[in-house]
Structure 1
């Protein structure tokens, strides 16, 4: 089956065409609606995509949608009710869901006879039990305003957990894996039997691990203090914690490669940023070992996770008593398995492929619809 995967952002459309699971075309249309941009609007952008690739025999279109709230626990074929439900979730993802809705609307119009499938970043985490998604806040307020842990990077964690099971030569249903998606955005996930049971991101992608420009976990009192004592308006605090925190806030740079170079040169701010980043990862690994009751593997993925031996080594340093060790030579080479032979817990490096996961789920859902 041919599957077209679309990732519609506020000013861009990323696309990838799969045929029988293989990529046959891909591209990016940027600066939509901007002077000198690639397209005037999403409608023009999608038309350009469809003119540039061979869509004959197209079986379905898969759309990445960031937030599915508590409504969507799996990918779903798009109809008017689904569109309405995603629209109602816009307050939870005001920067992302509207862009996805634009892409869906245009694709439905241009390809009216092709099934459209929404694949949600949050859906994989709907299997987390209530104790893992419920915040200890006023229950009435939480229910009224949809306050709970949702989690993100779900397509990446699902893909990487399944690939890790294959790497270990075991059925995914018989594995416990801690997946570490470390990029400019970063999250950890505990996966048991192919199902998410805990994840570090929460109501938004702000919480959990230290990221390129996001703070990760922070005491809520920091916000109150900055507002009441420092006199900063709330929107400025939000901007600071999302755009000028994380590695950027600690060292003035959000690129881990630059942080590591500066650390190697003896830069104190970069060294502290690196140490804070890796310690937070280590804390979550320990937490998720407890949640899972032990693990078969810890797997690194995404830009930093796949490419930084220094981060991988530092994040797992000192965990030998828990069965987790890293072989320096294998780690430096970037082998798929970087733990020593016979280690109780395998340490793996698996490149993520979120578009391939979206295509897989899209084919699964659209094929099921066709069978009905």
Structure 2
């Protein structure tokens, strides 16, 4: 039976949300989990799962500190005193580690200050990440806290993949390079895909599509990434829910000169008003599909642009890897949208890439193969589990301390 001394609390503070899990890192058994949504809005909501009990709360939650306080109160209400439980550790997801952090790191005041100093590189994420860490340190002062960085998996990208072609002195002074994101997910999924296939990761060429509201692709050879779609910030690469992905930087100068856009307005446009939402007015794929089925031409175009970008990165990574052994889809859209998977890989049988329609549309939500059994390239759907990866990383840090 799992004891509290074996449990790790994982906290993921997003721009307006908090996801959390209390779990045993070895087995992956989840003791409790929940989600705080729409922080800062009048219709904030909390859903807490503990065993068979589900507690829900609604009403304005002004900030992440208040959200975490409510989470701890819900733990108390379900009979689990986090402060007195003797937890093994708390693992925090942090989006950007810059050139400073590329390993899971014990939290100190200096670490928190550096995370905040890196906020210019991830303005929507690093500030709430730091607030989450500070809040939990106050609520659980005796429990080891560990920061796990989204950029860590991609820190050692080959220089040709990590380097931007700008003045090298400017790049060095301002830390400008391609960092990549969703690294915890890409690392977990690449390992899980190899395990599913019964193959040694060192023998595999993999392409992974992490498709959620944020989206990224990676090319992984021998268990290590050789390229990824996101760059200095999470804006580069694939089309996303509210972010544009690849963009001609000349557009920004044009908006500044012709439209009078300042830095704040451009930041708002690129982070919150672009991508699917900018093109179609919605960033939820279920709503996008409803609009497409209703004949909305803007929604149809948005979907086509989204798929076009996926295929462009697929082609680039096929060349970079010299072929591919496995293509894996993960995260909310990647795991749950068979149309995206089928359309992204349509017409590629000459490359050994095929999707079986029946397998692709299966209601099965476990790790599964959706390509024909005899297809040269395995196409998989593998649910990501960033919380488990963070819990295991935090546990390793505490054990080795």
Compute the TM-score of the two structures, normalised by the length of structure 1.
Answer: 0.92
Among 164, 187, 190, the alignment partner of 2:219 is 190
Give me the CA root mean square deviation.
2.2
Q: For 1:44-85, what per-residue CA distance to the aligned partner results, in whole angstroms no more than 9, with x for missing partners?
A: 346536635354241111011111111111211223342333
Matched, 1:363 2:368: no
CA contact (8 A) 1:13 1:45 kept: no
- Mean alpha-carbon deviation: is it higher for 107-116 or for 359-368? 107-116
Q: Which residue of 1 aligns with 2:159?
A: 130
Contact kept, 8 Å, 2:211 with 2:333, in 1: the verdict is yes
Compute the displacement of 1:311 (Å). Answer: 0.8
Whether contact under 8 Å (1:32, 1:42) holds in the other structure is no
Is 1:268 paired with 2:334? no
Residue 347 in 1 paired to residue 370 in 2? no
Report how far residue 231 of structure 1 moved.
Answer: 3.4
For residues 49 and 2 of structure 1, the distance between their equivalents in structure 2, rounded to whole angstroms, comes to 17
Q: Distance in 1 between matches of 2:382 and 2:92?
A: 24
- Measured against aligned partners, the alpha-carbon deviations of 1:224-255 in whole angstroms (never above 9, x if no partner) come to 12222233334323322222221122222222
Is 1:42 the equivalent of 2:71?
Answer: no
> SS state of the match for residue 149, structure 1?
coil
Stretch of structure 1 that moved more, 330-339 or 113-122: 330-339
Give the 3-state SS of the residue equivalent to 1:310 in structure 2: helix
Taking structure 1 as reference, are residues 236 and 85 closer, same or farther at Cα in structure 2, changes over 3 Å only?
A: closer
Contact 2:64 2:128 in 1 (8 A): no
Of 15, 25, 30, which aligns to 2:32?
Answer: 25
Cα 1:9–1:277 change in 2 (3 A) is closer
What are the Cα deviations for residues 275-311 of structure 1, in whole angstroms up to 9, with x where unaligned? 1111100110111112222221111111111111111
1:221 aligns with 250
Q: 1:79-106: CA deviations, max 9, x gaps? A: 3342333233222223322222222223
Residue 272 of structure 1, CA deviation: 1.6
Matches within 5 A, 1:29-178: 29-30=36-37, 36-38=59-61, 42=65, 44-45=69-70, 47-48=72-73, 51-52=76-77, 53-55=80-82, 56-178=85-207
In the aligned structure 1, how far is the partner of 2:220 from the partner of 2:39?
37
CA distance in 1, matches of 2:220, 2:248: 27
Instruction: State the Cα distance separating 1:38 from its structure 2 match.
Output: 4.6
CA deviations over 1:212-234 (Å, ceiling 9, x no partner): 11111011111112222233334
Greater shift in the superposed pair: 239-248 or 78-87: 78-87
The corresponding residue for 1:4 is: 9
Q: 2:122·2:234 contact (CA, 8 Å) conserved in 1?
A: no
Q: What is the Cα deviation at residue 359 of structure 1?
A: 0.9
Do structure 1's residue 14 and structure 2's residue 46 form an aligned pair? no
Q: TM-score, normalised by structure 2?
A: 0.85
Contact 1:75 1:117 in 2 (8 A): yes
What is the rounded CA distance, in whole Å, between the counterparts of 1:333 and 1:58 in structure 2? 39
**Contact 1:309–1:334 (8 Å) recurs in 2:** no
Structure 1 residues 327 and 13: CA distance shift in structure 2, 3 A: closer
* Structure 1 residues 182-331: aligned runs within 5 Å: 182-331=211-360
Task: Say which is worse superposed, 33-42 or 161-170, in terms of deviation.
Answer: 33-42
CA distance in 2, matches of 1:256, 1:34: 22
Greater Cα offset, 211-220 or 260-269: 260-269
Answer yes or no: is the 8 Å Cα contact 1:3–1:17 preserved in 2: yes
Structure 2 unmatched ranges of 5 or more: 1-5, 43-58
Residues in 2 aligned to 1:32 and 1:223: alpha-carbon distance in whole angstroms: 30
Q: Secondary structure at the match of 1:58?
A: coil
* Residue ranges of structure 1 left out of the alignment (5+ in a row): none
Deviates more, 1:276-285 or 1:35-44: 35-44
State the number of aligned residues: 369
